Amino acid sequence: MKDRPDHGNPDAPDIEGCTVNRRRFSRILESVEYLKRAGHKPSRRFEPASSPHVAQASFDLSSSTERILGENSSRSAMTTGLLRIYHDSLENALSCWLTEHNCPYSLRKIVPPMREAHNALQEWGSSWSNRMYNRVVDLDRAYATVRTRTLTADEDRAVSKALNMSVVAFASQWAQAGERSTTRPANSAYSTNEFPQSNPFERSMQESLWHQTSQLLHQAAAIDSFRVVFALIIFSLVQQPLDMARPAPNTNSSSMSYERFQAIVQDEETPLFLEIALRQILAQRRKLERMEHENAQRKDNSRLDPLREEDRATFNLLYWLGVMFDTLSAAICQRAVVVDDDDCELPQPDHFAVLGADQDEVWGDLFIRSGIVQSDPEATRWPCSYNLAASTLSSAAPVKVLLFRRVGHLQALLSRKASAVKIESAVKSAFHVYNHWHRRYNPFMLDCVKRHHELPTRIQSWYVLLAGHWHLATFLLSDLLEIIDSTRLSLPGERASRRASNLVTTLRRQNALSVADLSRSSIYSCLGEAQDFHFALNEAALLTEPWTVIFVRSLCRAGYILAEIATKHPDDGERRHARQRCSDCVDGLWYLGRKSDMAFLAARALSQMINEERAVTNVPSGESLAEDCNILETEACQNGLGKDRPGDAVLMDCYAEPMNLFQTWSTSEERGGSTFSSWMFDSESFSMDTNFGIESAPIVDVAL
């Protein structure tokens, strides 16, 4: 969106007369008073310079007016910083997860057209745009001709404000100051029932933005607009700040069960905003299909497509984004998907390449056939070209989604108490995807972990996020296998084979180690700060995760598995190694704890489990995990992360023989009273066309 001129804005300052509109002036005064109550002090860096217009009119600004304008500059810089965070997190991730290369509704040929290839390379480069935001805005503009009625001016303003506030609420998650901004609490005396002090301004801002954006989206949800759909999807990724007054579950036991541990980190709330978005885009899809069908029946020359090809491509991307998020959310929350399998099979327009009838099912083998995207038919290995690395990770993204979908299919069969034959067939389908990943993508992922410090910044971010999601899907699969076999819902022969090979334990241990490696490589890359991202995201690749809850769950599950080994395994050496690897997961949770209350609570709980295990076994080394972490950090810097990891080339065909994994380990009122949305983010001045350079735009006085 282009910046709009101030001439038509009734709230704009009258520069020629050197007067300030009373309404805007009153709004600024309210913001200053709020900032004073919150203890916010403006930065001197953003005090206003003298204006030639003001000097020309001999208008002397008083000291109070200077402070007001200083706050105005601070708000502008804060908004710029928040937009940069959105750009560097969500738009960065979507450059890998969501392209014409890997969207099932946009696949045309094995090699995409030159224009699409050029666009993809541009979005994969070191300078990328707010692609999906801008494309959705353009799509919504084109959709105006399809709507039953034109949006009123009030509705259009409500839609714009809802989208912009969703972006800002999303980015505000990274705004943490005080002890939350450090890797781990400096004082180890905190219990899991307590939070470290955060700057009241940032905490109040997060809470206010979440509640005000939630209210705006509820009001705008009934408006037929793709901007509303995208706003709902963005906001569904935002974790609601926890109520500090709510007591956390008691964790004063090293023998904590997984159910009790889940109570600390479990988000029981229904993904309401995502479901609203999915139902709306389903209705929009059916409307477009109906219009396309009616146009196809016309025999005269008046046949017109409801959307241009480019706008239809944007709709396909947005629809696939919703399907992907629905698939992951449903499997993680163990609920039914909103977009069922039939609704995922969008009919292809005539000008799209027609795939074979046995190959074009989205949840069939569409994503695991060779040559569907522009990458080598064999497994890619690092080092390789940047474009090949990006293409490989982009092609891996839908394979990850496919595993989550097949996990969801298996969950549905269990809930319906399906026959053992159907359940075993679903298990084999899931492992078909699992084995494809290990043959095609796992070697590249292992190379990335081993040589993390050599990778370009965006490749670091993409592989860490993809692998973190993948391992969570595998943990969910292992849970289902345990339930299937323990409740005898499986075939006797297959059940005996899995038990003989110790498959469930092997899967869990192998993936727990992989997640620990992922966290360690992300944090201890010894490169310092990456300059491609905003400073709130650049200390560790996992901080770029837009859907925080997924990576938190992956680290939580891996950490708990390793903590259990550390507390229950009879061998001292293996307990020590498990404790060291668990510390990697805890460190990842500390980092994510800067923006996630759930991650902070999980890190405290796992730390307490390990510390109590130390006390029981009389470990002489110290009081916390910090020692192990420092040792591992030093080793990572000195020796690199190139040690071979267990399970480097493990396939699960016919349930592999047991693997001795551990032998290789050595290698309220304040909410309602805040005026953030009324003064900080005016739709008139909100532009996503900001030219974010290499340098980060700082969030003024918001230490991260």
Please give, one letter per residue, the 3-state secondary structure of 459-524: HHHHHHHHHHHHHHHHHHHHHHHHHHHHCCCCCHHHHHHHHHCCHHHHHHHHHHHHHHHHHHHHHC
Q: What is the secondary structure of 99-135 as a DSSP string?
A: STTT-TTT--SSS--HHHHHHHHHHHSSS---HHHHH
Q: Is 561 helix (H, G, I), strand (E, B) or coil?
A: helix
The pLDDT score that the predictor gives to residue 220 is: 97
Closest C-alpha among 318, 366, 374 to residue 116: 374
Positions of E strands within 318-443: none
Q: Pick the residue with more confidence: 124 or 352?
A: 124
Q: What is the secondary structure of 625-693 as a DSSP string?
A: THHHHHHHHHHHHHHTT----TTTT---TT-PPP--GGGGS---HHHHH--HHHHT--GGG--S-----
CA separation for the pair 687, 1 (Å, rounded) = 6
Percent of the chain topping pLDDT 90: 48
Q: Pick the residue with more confidence: 683 or 137?
A: 137
Whether the per-residue pLDDT at 228 is higher than 80: the answer is yes
Maximum Cα interatomic distance, the chain, rounded to a whole number of Å:
92
**Domain end (from 36, 57, 82):** 82
Give a yes or no: residue 249 inside a domain: no
Q: Pick the residue with more confidence: 203 or 151?
A: 151
Give a yes or no: residue 672 inside a domain: no
With a CB cutoff of 8 Å and minimum separation 6, the contacts of 221 are 228, 232, 276, 280
The pLDDT score that the predictor gives to residue 358 is: 46
Q: Is 167 exposed, middle or buried (0-12, 13-18, 19+ CB in 10 A)?
A: buried
Whether the per-residue pLDDT at 439 is higher than 60: the answer is yes
Same domain, 458 and 596: yes
Same domain, 379 and 481: yes
**Domain end (from 310, 328, 355):** 355
Residue 60's pLDDT band (boundaries 50, 70, 90)?
A: low
Range scoring the smallest mean pLDDT among 69-78, 382-391, 612-621? 612-621
Whether the per-residue pLDDT at 63 is higher than 60: the answer is yes
CA-based R_g, the chain, Å: 26
Winning range, highest mean pLDDT, from 95-109, 117-131, 408-422, 634-648: 408-422
Query: Residue range 76-91: average pLDDT?
Result: 92
Give a yes or no: residue 701 inside a domain: no
The pLDDT score that the predictor gives to residue 242 is: 81
The pLDDT score that the predictor gives to residue 571 is: 82
Q: CA-CA distances (angstroms) from residue 349 to 119, 311, 323?
A: 22, 14, 19
Indicate the length of the chain as a whole number: 704
Winning range, highest mean pLDDT, from 19-28, 398-407, 629-638: 398-407
Same domain, 326 and 374: no
CA separation for the pair 543, 461 (Å, rounded) = 9
With a CB cutoff of 8 Å and minimum separation 6, the contacts of 532 are 88, 126, 457, 458, 538, 694
**Domain end (from 336, 355, 374):** 355
Winning range, highest mean pLDDT, from 265-279, 361-375, 545-559: 545-559
Q: What angle do CA 550, 555, 561 make, to 5 degrees?
A: 130
Give a yes or no: residue 692 inside a domain: no
With a CB cutoff of 8 Å and minimum separation 6, the contacts of 51 are none
Q: How many CA within 13 A on the CB side of residue 487?
A: 14
Give a yes or no: residue 348 inside a domain: yes
Same domain, 232 and 171: yes
Specify the DSSP class assigned to residue 616: H
CA separation for the pair 645, 650 (Å, rounded) = 11
Specify the DSSP class assigned to residue 19: B
* Domain of residue 575, residue span: 363-660
Query: Residue range 687-701: average pLDDT?
Result: 43
Query: Residue range 388-413: average pLDDT?
Result: 97
Same domain, 131 and 203: yes
Give a yes or no: residue 251 inside a domain: no
The pLDDT score that the predictor gives to residue 270 is: 77
Residue 297's pLDDT band (boundaries 50, 70, 90)?
A: confident
Q: Pick the residue with more confidence: 377 or 582?
A: 582
Mean of the per-residue pLDDT values of the chain: 76
Same domain, 595 and 483: yes
Residue 581's pLDDT band (boundaries 50, 70, 90)?
A: very high
The pLDDT score that the predictor gives to residue 506 is: 94
Query: Residue range 259-282: average pLDDT?
Result: 83
In this structure, which long-range contacts are made by residues 424-428, counting pairs with CB atoms below 8 Å and at least 24 apart in sequence?
424/490, 424/491, 424/494, 427/481, 427/484, 427/490, 427/494
Q: Is 190 exposed, middle or buried (0-12, 13-18, 19+ CB in 10 A)?
A: middle
Whether the per-residue pLDDT at 360 is higher than 60: the answer is yes
Whether the per-residue pLDDT at 278 is higher than 90: the answer is yes
Whether the per-residue pLDDT at 347 is higher than 60: the answer is yes
Give the pLDDT confidence of 128-163 residue by residue, as tens digits: 999 999 999 999 999 998 888 899 999 999 999 999
Q: What is the secondary structure of 184-238 as a DSSP string?
A: S-S-TT--TT------HHHHHHHHHHHHHHHHHHHHHTTS--HHHHHHHHHHHTS
Same domain, 399 and 343: no
Residue 210's pLDDT band (boundaries 50, 70, 90)?
A: very high
Is residue 417 within 8 A of residue 490, CB to CB? The reply is: no
Same domain, 490 and 610: yes
Residue 346's pLDDT band (boundaries 50, 70, 90)?
A: low
The pLDDT score that the predictor gives to residue 72 is: 67
Range scoring the smallest mean pLDDT among 209-223, 415-429, 542-556, 670-684? 670-684
Query: Residue range 216-245: average pLDDT?
Result: 92
Same domain, 69 and 163: no
Domain count, the chain: 3
CA separation for the pair 607, 400 (Å, rounded) = 30
Is residue 585 within 8 A of residue 559, CB to CB? The reply is: yes
Range scoring the smallest mean pLDDT among 200-209, 473-482, 562-571? 200-209
Same domain, 375 and 433: yes
Q: CA-CA distances (angstroms) from residue 239 to 232, 247, 267, 284?
A: 13, 18, 9, 27
Give a yes or no: residue 294 inside a domain: yes
Whether the per-residue pLDDT at 45 is higher than 60: the answer is no
The pair of structure tokens assigned to 7 is 């001439």
Q: Pick the residue with more confidence: 101 or 48?
A: 101
CA separation for the pair 191, 147 (Å, rounded) = 55
Range scoring the smallest mean pLDDT among 229-233, 355-359, 458-462, 646-650? 646-650
The pLDDT score that the predictor gives to residue 117 is: 52
Give a yes or no: residue 533 inside a domain: yes
Range scoring the smallest mean pLDDT among 35-44, 186-195, 432-441, 668-677? 668-677
Query: Residue range 326-342: average pLDDT?
Result: 96
Same domain, 450 and 540: yes
Whether the per-residue pLDDT at 516 is higher than 50: the answer is yes
The pLDDT score that the predictor gives to residue 478 is: 98
The pLDDT score that the predictor gives to residue 199 is: 63
Q: Pick the residue with more confidence: 510 or 186?
A: 510
Closest C-alpha among 98, 139, 164 to residue 323: 98
Same domain, 11 and 148: no
Q: CA-CA distances (angstroms) from residue 339 to 33, 281, 323, 335?
A: 47, 10, 7, 12
The pLDDT score that the predictor gives to residue 114 is: 44
CA separation for the pair 113, 101 (Å, rounded) = 10
Whether the per-residue pLDDT at 195 is higher than 80: the answer is no
Query: Residue range 278-299: average pLDDT?
Result: 87
Q: pTM for the complete prediction?
A: 0.80
